[in-house]
């Protein structure tokens, strides 16, 4: 993240934390908590999710999101949607009201509209900062060529994991994808087991970063499996980042939480914004971790 946006990121994750914690504090389910946390970040133009997301090669916003419940393994996901301010809301509708797990593009938007989610214009999701960012990137690429997946290129996918008083965990992830991506490109964020996963018997996990390597490793599920094998989430999170780097030279970050309330935060990028709260304490930061 650019130096001048560090405070904005911290402010954003703290607001998301407050929204999710309010639900948990009043006895609400983890699924509601992660949804509301992610909605806050989708509404915050700081992040690559919802309004203010990175633009694709054609200058349009295309969004992906997934939400998953650890108690039942129910999940809902949307991909390549262009008219949803909060794709995680549509993903939640799919989880709750559809026998399917995944809808894409116009089909996802139609399903969302039929289930009470208000559609918007794609232009409503585009902000001047991102128009300028895309212009500069494309000009630089035309002159010198650019590494689309360099660690210094922000990815800014948002996610949340939560544990409620009933012992259930949940996870949600939402993104606008990679800057200058090809139209129709789908990243890891909304793919079950790749950028998001939750199972009470293992862990809830949400990833951020370069999507293609994360997809190839099915990294969220890989990490949850390490927890199921008896490893602490803290260890599993760090091992996931090591695995991502060593196997495919990928970069990103991950947050992991098990049903015992143990959590892990790790990344192999220069910075990642994070926040976490338990009944004992609250923490947030930039240099090590995420919520």
Nearest Cα to Cα of residue 75 among 57, 58, 98: 98
Helix/strand/coil (H, E, C) string of 236-288?
HHHHHHHHHHHHHCCCEEEEEECCCCCEEEEECCCCCCEEEECCCCEEEECCC
Pairing of β 204-209 and β 252-257: antiparallel
Pairing of β 102-104 and β 75-81: parallel
- Spell out the long-range contacts of 231-236 with Cβ–Cβ below 8 A and sequence spacing 24 or more: 232/262, 232/264, 233/203, 233/257, 233/258, 233/262, 233/263, 233/264, 234/262, 234/263, 234/264, 234/265, 234/266, 235/264, 236/203, 236/264
What letter does residue 192 receive in the DSSP assignment? B
Provide the b/e sequence for 190-229 (b: ≥16 CB within 10 Å).
bbbbbbbbbbbebbbbbbbbbbebbbebbbbbbbbbbbee
Query: Which tokens belong to 198?
Result: 């939750």
Instruction: Find the catalytic residue in 46, 157, 173, 175.
Output: 157
> Do residues 196 and 146 make contact, with C-beta atoms less than 8 angstroms apart?
no
**Catalytic residue check, 178:** no
Q: Which residues are catalytic?
A: 157
């Amino acid at each position: 993240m650019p130096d001048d946006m560090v405070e904005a990121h911290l402010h954003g994750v703290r607001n998301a934390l407050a929204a999710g914690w309010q639900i948990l504090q009043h006895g609400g389910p983890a699924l509601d908590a992660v949804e509301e946390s992610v909605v806050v970040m989708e509404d915050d133009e700081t992040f690559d999710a919802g309004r203010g997301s990175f633009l694709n090669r054609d200058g349009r916003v295309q969004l992906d999101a997934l939400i998953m419940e650890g108690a039942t393994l129910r999940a809902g996901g949307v991909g390549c949607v262009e008219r949803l301010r909060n794709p995680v809301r549509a993903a939640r509708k799919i989880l709750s009201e559809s026998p399917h797990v995944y809808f894409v593009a116009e089909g996802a938007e139609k399903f969302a509209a039929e289930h009470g989610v208000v559609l918007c214009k794609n232009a409503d999701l585009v902000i001047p900062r991102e128009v300028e960012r895309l212009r500069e990137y494309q000009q630089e690429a035309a002159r010198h060529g650019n590494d689309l997946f360099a660690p210094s290129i922000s990815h800014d996918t948002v996610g949340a994991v939560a544990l409620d008083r009933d012992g259930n965990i949940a996870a949600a992830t939402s993104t606008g994808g990679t800057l200058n991506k090809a139209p129709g490109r789908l990243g890891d964020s909304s793919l079950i087991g790749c950028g998001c996963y939750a199972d009470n018997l293992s862990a809830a996990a949400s990833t951020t970063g370069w999507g293609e390597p994360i997809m190839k490793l099915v990294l969220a599920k890989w990490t949850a499996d390490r927890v199921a094998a008896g490893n602490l989430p803290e260890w599993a999170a760090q091992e996931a980042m090591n695995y991502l780097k060593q196997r495919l030279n990928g970069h990103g970050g991950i947050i992991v939480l098990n049903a015992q309330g143990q959590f892990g935060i790790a990344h192999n990028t220069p910075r990642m914004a994070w926040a976490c709260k338990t009944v004992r304490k609250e923490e947030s930061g930039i240099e090590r971790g995420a919520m």
